[in-house]
Amino acid sequence: MSDVAHTQDSYLGPPYGLGAWLLTKDHKRIAILYLISITIFFAVGAMFAAGIRLELLTPKGDLWTSDTYNKLFTLHGVVMIFFFLVPSIPAVLGNFLLPIMIGAKDLAFPRINLLSWYIYIAGAIITLTAVFTGGLDTGWTFYVPYSTLSSHTAVTTAAVGVFITGFSSILTGLNFIVTVHRMRAPGMTWFRLPLFVWAMYATSLQMILGTPVIAITVLLVAAERFLHLGFFDPSLGGDPVLFQHLFWFYSHPAVYIMVLPGMGVISELVAAVSRKQVFGYSFVAFSSLAIALIGFLVWGHHLFVSSQSIYAGLVFSILTMLVAIPSAVKTFNWTATMYKGAVTWDSSVYWVIGFLGLFTIGGLTGLFLAAMGMDIHLSDSYFVIAHFHYIMVGGSLMAYLGGLHFWWPKMTGRMFNDTLAKASAVLVFIGFNLTFFPQFVLGYMGMPRRYHAYPDEFQVLNVLSTAGAGVLAVGYLLPAFYLTYSLFKGAKAPANPWGAKGLEWTVPSPPPTFNFESDPVVNEPAYNYNPGREVHVG
């Protein structure tokens, strides 16, 4: 299939100029634009992280002033979440792959797709303006009344930046939903969709239903600060806890916006490395939807010690326990997929194993926090920090890197150095655990988060953690080098270097501008490594 004579140029081919890229409507080029931008933001966020870790080497606050430190972790959180992890997999891998995977020539609304990138950039620029005009020191959670009445930093600007960026995510989600509904190739039924598409669909649902609420919430904060309106001001009788409800109504689903795409990537990778149908396809597919739905019902678990009604806490706690079940189902299905597979030891499997290990730890520690009595002790401590880094960095980021490597040959048409990729995965895994495992212990011992200086007895573990961050840094820097190197010197990639299934592997690497030489027709289920019998899944 891949050797058909090229009738179209690859999407990387002409037209070249900057204008042709910046005004492109091709989902693949837009994906590359996103790839470049979020990589920059990851670097920015990582520099902030380095600042945090270096300060925490010593108990005294001696490297930065406390105001600077507060800005560091705030900006680290804001940049990493809103400008890196939320757009990462959806806007890069999703943009690139979703249309190809379902056999479409593009997303339903190519112009809106480009617009959403511009909105993202506009939001990013405004937020960066805030960084240089006073910074931001509210924590990424913007809690009122600190953010509205007390902080002296550029909260309004940053809030507007986040507000704008929100629309980028809304438009991406909207585009994906319509595309999945309306653009599938003939024969591409819902149950033949790759699981990555299911995950993206579930993610998009959360984006369109949740993001508007954070948008209006930060707008209210901006209006309260800037126009002196009052929404949460306690001196007018306003309730700061209301803000927390509105904030977490989005921001809890947002954590699934950040992990579901990663889960989708892992589903693809697990199937490809084992050359086997994903175990329990429909369970994995529906667990994505279940997470998307139940994920909206649990936000109150961030408010257990906020003076929220304890009865409301009960409801949120039990629902939180329920939302863990679909994740458990997925984890077990991935594991079972490898059973009797033909498992490769290419770099891909390293990312998969890394993800499974770290996500499981991260997820299970979420249960400590979901058990209300336990959360009283652990809330706002380093235990929480460790919990979410395990999921977001150990899980999602690992999956993102895994996916980026896996589809790199498809996106760029070049092969990278697999040995270095393995080294990078191993380094990330080790460095990661070294950085964040001690934080569980710290949290249990009672070390509060967002502390610029801390009591002496916590030092040993903090030094370990900073050392781990050093290892982690090497693990992240490595791909930057060998992937860039591959662009110029890498071997040309065949259409299907991994021997994987899926429409994206039937087109040349890199794919032609309109993805397919001829309109694709699908007549087999996903991951059909054992062709011959049409199966019912279950």
**Site for ligand HEA, rule CB under 6 A:** 46-47, 49-50, 52-54, 73-74, 76-77, 80-81, 84-85, 139-141, 255-256, 258-259, 301-302, 304, 320, 323-324, 327-328, 331, 360, 363-364, 366-367, 369-370, 375, 379-380, 384-385, 387-389, 391-393, 396-397, 435, 449-451, 466, 469-470, 472-473, 476
Nearer to Cu ion, 347 or 379 (CB): 379
- The binder of 81, among other proteins, Cu ion, ligand HEA, none, by C-beta within 5 to 8 A per type, is ligand HEA
Q: CB 363 → ligand HEA: shortest distance, Å?
A: 2
- The binder of 176, among other proteins, ligand HEA, Cu ion, none, by C-beta within 5 to 8 A per type, is none
Nearer to Cu ion, 100 or 214 (CB): 214
Hey, what are 120's tokens?
Answer: 């993202």
Angle (nearest 5°) at CA 60 between 77 and 381 = 45
How far is Cα of residue 499 from the mean position of the Cα atoms in its chain?
Answer: 27
- The binder of 401, among ligand HEA, other proteins, Cu ion, none, by C-beta within 5 to 8 A per type, is none
- The binder of 311, among other proteins, ligand HEA, Cu ion, none, by C-beta within 5 to 8 A per type, is other proteins
Q: CB 43 → ligand HEA: shortest distance, Å?
A: 8
Query: Rounded distance, CA 376 to CA 305, Å?
Result: 6
Query: Rounded distance, CA 216 to CA 335, Å?
Result: 41
Q: CB 67 → ligand HEA: shortest distance, Å?
A: 13
Q: CB 298 → other proteins: shortest distance, Å?
A: 9
Residues facing 492 on adjacent strands: 414
Query: Rounded distance, CA 254 to CA 6, Å?
Result: 42
Q: CB 161 → other proteins: shortest distance, Å?
A: 17
Q: CB 365 → other proteins: shortest distance, Å?
A: 7
- The binder of 156, among Cu ion, other proteins, ligand HEA, none, by C-beta within 5 to 8 A per type, is none
The residue nearest ligand HEA at its CB is 363
Nearer to ligand HEA, 420 or 467 (CB): 467
What is the SS3 assignment for 59?
coil
73: number of CA atoms within 13 Å, CB side?
20
Nearer to other proteins, 380 or 524 (CB): 380
Q: CB 59 → ligand HEA: shortest distance, Å?
A: 13
Nearest to 416 by CA among 487, 343, 499: 487
Nearer to ligand HEA, 390 or 527 (CB): 390
What is the SS3 assignment for 472?
helix
Hey, what are 75's tokens?
Answer: 């900006």
Tally Cβ neighbours within 10 Å of residue 371. Answer: 16
- The binder of 405, among other proteins, ligand HEA, Cu ion, none, by C-beta within 5 to 8 A per type, is none
Hey, what are 464's tokens?
Answer: 């370990």
Q: CB 155 → ligand HEA: shortest distance, Å?
A: 13
Hey, what are 404's tokens?
Answer: 């980026």
Nearer to Cu ion, 164 or 303 (CB): 303
- The binder of 522, among other proteins, ligand HEA, Cu ion, none, by C-beta within 5 to 8 A per type, is none
- Write phi, then psi, for 161 (nearest 5 degrees): -60, -45
Q: Quick check: 471 and 490 in contact, CB under 8 A?
A: no
Distances (CA, A) of 336 to 281, 297, 324, 364: 11, 29, 18, 19
Sites of contact with Cu ion (CB under 5 A): 252
Q: CB 514 → ligand HEA: shortest distance, Å?
A: 34
Q: CB 324 → ligand HEA: shortest distance, Å?
A: 4
At 203, the amino acid letter reads T
The residue nearest Cu ion at its CB is 252
- The binder of 164, among Cu ion, other proteins, ligand HEA, none, by C-beta within 5 to 8 A per type, is none
DSSP assignment of 95-155: HHHHHHHHT-SS-S-HHHHHHHHHHHHHHHHHHHHHHHTT---STTTT-TTIIIII--S-H
Nearer to other proteins, 112 or 420 (CB): 112
- The binder of 277, among Cu ion, ligand HEA, other proteins, none, by C-beta within 5 to 8 A per type, is other proteins
Q: CB 205 → ligand HEA: shortest distance, Å?
A: 16
DSSP assignment of 227-276: S---SS-GGGT--HHHHHHHHHHHHHHHHHHHHHHHHHHHHHHHHHHHTS
- The binder of 514, among other proteins, Cu ion, ligand HEA, none, by C-beta within 5 to 8 A per type, is other proteins
Q: Quick check: 408 and 32 in contact, CB under 8 A?
A: no
- The binder of 494, among ligand HEA, other proteins, Cu ion, none, by C-beta within 5 to 8 A per type, is none
Nearest to 259 by CA among 395, 77, 165: 395
